[in-house]
Amino acid sequence: MKRLLFVLVLFVAFVSMSVPRADEGMWTFDNPPRKIWKERYNFDPPDAWLDHIRLATVRLGGGTGSFVSPDGLIMTNQHIASGQLQRLSTAERNYIRDGFYAATPAQEMKCPDMTADVLVSYEDVTGRVQAAVKAGASDQEANAQRRAEIAAIEKEASEKTGLVCQVVTLYSGGEYWLYRFKRYTDLRIVFAVEESIGFFGGDYDNFTYPRHDLDISFLRAYENGRPANTDYFRWSESGAADKDLIFVPGNPGSTSRLLTIAQLQYQRDAGNDIQMRVWTSRRDALAKYAATGAEAARQASEPRRSLENSIKRLVGQQAGLKGASIMGRKEAEEKDLRAKVAADPALRKKYASAWDEIAAAYRAFPPYARRIAFTTLAPSALGGYASTLVRYAEEVRKPNSARYDEFRDSRIEATKRSLLSPAPVYRDMEEAILAAWLEEGRKTLGASDPFLQAALGSSTPAAAAKAVIAGTRLADVATRRALLDGGPDAIARSDDPLVALARKVEPVVRELRGWQEANIISIEASAGQRIAQARFAVYGKNVYPDANSNLRLEFGTVLGYEEGSTLVPYKTTFHGLYDRAASFDNSAPFALPRRWQDRRAALDLSTPLNFVYTADTIGGNSGSPVINRRAEIVGINFDSNLQKLPNRYAYIDEADGSRAVGVHSAGILEALAKVYDAQALVDEIRGTRRFGSH
């Protein structure tokens, strides 16, 4: 880790030396960077090109997928489907380890709790949301008024269209957009690779390039029990080539590029450390549990991988923020904007104080942030169910406009669906997680903290966790459904010990959520909106909003780079995979699945496997299709390299070696055909045979 930090500090050092000539931006579909495309790439697509891309791309869990056949076939990463694969696996059938292929429609496996959203249409509702704020309202009142209006807009739109309708906040409240989604709730797993090839090299090679991972899976969206008819991407015959212009549509999860210096300093000096503590303690608890046996290791494997990934990314982000160059650039940008606002009397009056208001709010935040981070039962899946039930009981009594976001009419179905997931629950793992979590909370917040007092009373973390997990009946979906169906009173009366625990801690959770709403969020919303408006007034709308897990379009070039004193190629090949496996004498995490060892001679080993490009992606772009000018699939995005990690806070220029990493389209077909004997899937993707025909 120390070594990784040094490497990152090195990469970050480059930032300040380069002149950005950026394939930068996670652009909304209403504001694509047409000028850059035209000037830099002589590319000027019709609107229909953009519509097609939007309708063939899906949001999928925390990531992205793309339709690749007219029969609802979705391509994504193995690591995006892995949560579902983990839930479908048992001690006897391990789809994470062994992969999966449904050679016939009947063999496709239904996902326990994953949905796919297509952004069908969108509409600017900024005026309506902002008009809802009454003159003279305090920040907190304004926030409540905006939220009520948003709830009303969503409800109206849902009722009118039957779609899932959500108002999305962009530019820290500078804009509000109504997004209408078609949601597919019946997803079935068609194909997944073995984790050892989808995540070849394990955590070592994660965020590393050259890379050799076939990180792919296929799902199928069903509607009314039949494969959905969908827009879809066609497959490129040749795939990605050196210097090609490519596009990456997807759902980047979260960036912090428009934050003020005060907000960034908070992240650097407090927020990221708290997050790191949360994740590492959870990771360590899972590692300890996994060490108790093979089946425990299997149960813990998917969440461990996910946490390792988050931790490695956070290390990179924090290194970027601690380096001088990103913060220096940010300070210069903020100084410039504030100076321009100050120089114009009208702007100064409206906007000049916004930065200081945010700074003042954040000064009080750190001790609350620590409490907020640990005041939850959610690391335990059962604890999360219990708290959601208790919260549900309270929220549904309120009018739609006054509820927490996740209980508003527009979102409550998704909340219920999560609650009723048929995913397996492992009691021993749950107990281990909850005990470790309460232990870490007590260590961090002290035994006298209100949450710990409520959760533990005079008990120890281990004893408390043992008691509630042993006694709870929430592992049974039917129990959760009965409580939900029984309504608020049934939940309030439940004698389930875990529900009782959730009731005890709920007032503390609510108090902190209220504090954050009143003291941070409403001020951020108000001041953030003014800063966004100031930015528009000074620079125009030449900027993209921070990512928030909604649909964006990124673009870039397929391009190698320099590292050390040598060149890193734009692609790797199957030869590279076999080289790396053999170089480590086929030992984990560089061991190839049996099937890959056996089929080596059948493969054209010069086939491209992975490739890199300059598109401005981030977590959430996992599974994004990589497409060419003709909107054909040339690959699928699955990772970034180390150089790119700090890009949460600023675009890292391509000259500094920052790259996204994808699986090459040719490698996907080669493997499906020659290693997995999945010819039907290949034919469906290539459009030579419709699904289900024989």
- Site membership for a copy of itself, residue 10 (CB under 8 A): yes
Nearest to 65, CA basis, from 251, 239, 203, 190 = 251
**C-alpha to C-alpha distances, 594 to 151, 378, 443, nearest whole angstrom:** 53, 38, 45
- Contact segment (CB under 8 A) with a copy of itself among 5-13, 101-109, 385-393, 520-528 equals 5-13
- Contact segment (CB under 8 A) with a copy of itself among 1-9, 130-138, 188-196, 507-515 equals 1-9
52-81 positions binding a copy of itself, by CB under 8 A: none
- Site membership for a copy of itself, residue 567 (CB under 8 A): yes
Nearest to 324, CA basis, from 649, 676, 667, 691 = 649
- Site membership for a copy of itself, residue 205 (CB under 8 A): yes
CB-nearer residue toward a copy of itself: 359 or 605: 605
CB-nearer residue toward a copy of itself: 8 or 142: 8
- Number of Cα atoms under 13 Å in the Cβ half of residue 454: 17
- Site membership for a copy of itself, residue 312 (CB under 8 A): yes
Residue from 573, 622, 628, 658 binding a copy of itself (CB under 8 A):
573
Residue from 65, 323, 497, 576 binding a copy of itself (CB under 8 A):
576
- Site membership for a copy of itself, residue 642 (CB under 8 A): yes
For the record, the structure tokens of 590 come out as 């560089």
Cβ(161)–Cβ(180) under 8 Å? Answer: yes
Q: How far apart (Å, rounded) are the C-alpha atoms in residues 666 and 611?
A: 11
For the record, the structure tokens of 402 come out as 């006054």
Residue from 54, 503, 580, 674 binding a copy of itself (CB under 8 A):
580
- Site membership for a copy of itself, residue 6 (CB under 8 A): yes
Whether the CA torsion 265, 271, 277, 283 is positive or negative: it is negative
| Interaction mask 407-426, a copy of itself, x per CB under 8 A | --------------------
- Site membership for a copy of itself, residue 42 (CB under 8 A): no
Q: For residue 236, what is the enclosing H or E element?
A: none
Residue from 198, 210, 271, 441 binding a copy of itself (CB under 8 A):
210
Minimum Å distance from CB 376 to a copy of itself?
30
For the record, the structure tokens of 551 come out as 């649909």
| Interaction mask 156-195, a copy of itself, x per CB under 8 A | ----------------------------------------
For the record, the structure tokens of 458 come out as 């005079």
CB-nearer residue toward a copy of itself: 242 or 476: 242
Q: How far apart (Å, rounded) are the C-alpha atoms in residues 593 and 212?
A: 14
- Site membership for a copy of itself, residue 7 (CB under 8 A): yes
Cis peptide before 367 (omega within 30 of 0): no
602-631 positions binding a copy of itself, by CB under 8 A: 605-606
**C-alpha to C-alpha distances, 482 to 408, 413, 479, 487, nearest whole angstrom:** 21, 16, 5, 9
Cβ(349)–Cβ(471) under 8 Å? Answer: no
Nearest to 195, CA basis, from 59, 115, 309, 117 = 309
Beta-carbon contacts of 40 under 8 Å, excluding residues fewer than 6 positions away, are none
Residue from 242, 356, 405, 476 binding a copy of itself (CB under 8 A):
242
- Site membership for a copy of itself, residue 208 (CB under 8 A): yes
Residue from 136, 399, 540, 564 binding a copy of itself (CB under 8 A):
564
**How many CB atoms sit inside 10 A of residue 14's CB?**
17
Residue from 63, 201, 303, 320 binding a copy of itself (CB under 8 A):
201
For the record, the structure tokens of 435 come out as 């005990």
Instruction: Find the radius of gyration of the CA atoms of the chain.
Output: 25
Helix, strand, coil abundance in the chain, percent, nearest 5: 55, 15, 30
- Site membership for a copy of itself, residue 599 (CB under 8 A): no
- Site membership for a copy of itself, residue 17 (CB under 8 A): yes
CB-nearer residue toward a copy of itself: 544 or 590: 590
Binding stretches for a copy of itself (CB under 8 A): 1-4, 6-7, 10, 13-14, 17, 201, 204-208, 210, 242, 312, 560, 562-567, 569-576, 578-580, 582-585, 590, 605-606, 642
